[in-house]
Chains A and B, each alone.
Chain A
């Protein structure tokens, strides 16, 4: 079972470059999320989506954009990468509804910006 798949797994960028991180889930989940995790810290929510064509800001949205054109995919874009965006990025998905529905996470994308 694939679950939540993140592409790429590693990437090194130069300051000012742009890139897109792809998250794909095969569980037909409505809700999808992008988090970032800095060393020694918990995960912080960047953006999330409650359905195809919808997006919303999380705790740390500045410098990022997202799109949910297809239900199974959630894209995270960095238009002009900055060293402060060096982090591990995690995508997650879940079914809507009651709290018992867990969030399923990918294994992360490790992004370094020089």
Chain B
């Protein structure tokens, strides 16, 4: 799996939007972009994934650059419960390889 680069930490005010960036300049044409998050003292949980087009679900939105070398996870209104470590992971379309985790971005949400 290709490597991703994320900021170590970010901070947001409660009820404001949060944009979490991820660079993946060596992404291949068959790699999907996955996001997981890990709340304190819990295992990671799936957030969203996409290939080329922007994606939305009940948790977040994923904006993917046209050249696919970067992407942004968007939390539309941060809540205190969104404070977590967010991982951006590339995964082959077959999905048969295990997830490879980097250090992720630690998001702090201020009330």
Q: How far is the CB of B86 from chain A (nearest CB, A)?
A: 11
Number of A positions contacting B (CB below 8 A): 28
The segment out of A11-19, A35-43, A60-68, A72-80 that lies at the interface is: A35-43
Bits for A71-102, please: 1 = Cβ < 8 Å to B, else 0.
00000000000000000001010001111111
Number of B positions contacting A (CB below 8 A): 24
8 Å CB contact of B41 from A50, A58, A92, A107: A107
User: CA A97 – CA B46 in complex, angstroms?
Assistant: 17
In the assembled complex, which residues on chain B have CB atoms less than 8 Å from the CB atom of A90? 43-44
8 Å CB contact of B87 from A42, A104, A108: A42
> For the complex, is A29 an interface residue (Cβ under 8 Å from B)?
no
Chain B contact surface mostly: loop
Chain A contact surface mostly: loop
Q: Of all chain B residues, which has the CB nearest A94? A: B95
A42-B102, A45-B100 known; A98+B95 contact, CB < 8 A? yes
B95 with A41: CB separation less than 8 A: no
**Which A residues form the contact surface with B (CB < 8 A)?**
4, 33, 35, 40-45, 48, 50, 58-59, 90, 92, 96-108
**Which B residues form the contact surface with A (CB < 8 A)?**
32, 34, 36, 41-46, 49, 87, 91-96, 98-104
